[in-house]
Amino acid sequence: MQSSSLVSVITISFLSAGLITLAAGIGIVFGTNLGTTTGAWLIAGFGLKVDIAAYAMPLLAFGVILIFQSSSVLKGIGYILAGIGFLFLGIHYMKEGFETFKGTINLAEYAVAGYPGLLLFTAIGIFATVVMQSSHATLVLTITALAAGQITYENALALAIGANVGTTITAILGSMSANEGGKRLAAAHLLFNVVTGAIAIVFIYQLVYLVDGLASVVGIANEDYTLKLAVFHVH
């Protein structure tokens, strides 16, 4: 579904209805943290490597046609195609927008180095994800800005950490009307993401060294920071 927030809310609903146990719910939520990393790979590995705008319009055209069909299966496929098409268009226009900045302003000049920068950009990532209610949206902005050279690699890593923490807000909001089990699950989700985010910040330079080693093993170029960000996001 390309949405950890949606899976978390559905899981809270299942838990509140007594369909699953708290332990099972925590397992599902932990799984969403791994599943959501596929978004970064799709954006960095495919969205920025080819002219995806050329694929967007056919996807949108076929998607709209299928949406108006009477069959629920065809409608579902239509919504999927339309969603992918809009995502491709969004990535394309954001990439073009950040490229335009190069001629007028270089946002990388405002980068903050060291741990102060990590904490600042982590906070920005949390805020952006809370406002947009989507860690994927924050990651798309981060990866496109990184590809255009408008933010540094280190600051992009901090934004990814912040997005991972900020995405818990949807589960928290969804748990407000849930029973005690749902609230516990939302709390577990928040605690897990905050702890892992704090660990990532503390050991950021060791993780970067590990990512560099893995990237060289799998054949990722040393300057391909967008794919390295995807590798870091998995960790």
- CA distance to 25, 148, 162, 192, 220, per residue, from 199 (Å): 23, 28, 12, 11, 25
Per-residue confidence band for 69, with pLDDT thresholds at 50, 70 and 90: confident
Structure tokens, 97: 């927008």
Across 125-138, average pLDDT: 78
Asked if 159 contacts 112 with a C-beta cutoff of 8 angstroms, the reply is no
**Confidence band of 50 (pLDDT split at 50, 70, 90):** low
Of residues 74 and 44, the one with the higher pLDDT is 74
- Span 204-227, mean pLDDT? 80
pLDDT (0 to 100) of residue 85: 81
**pLDDT exceeds 70 at position 51:** no
User: In angstroms, rounded to a whole number, what is the distance separating the alpha carbons of residues 173 and 177?
Assistant: 8
Q: What rounded mean pLDDT belongs to the chain? A: 79
What are 135-183's pLDDT values in tens digits? 777 777 788 788 777 788 888 888 888 888 888 887 787 777 777 877 8
Residue 47 has pLDDT above 60, yes or no: no
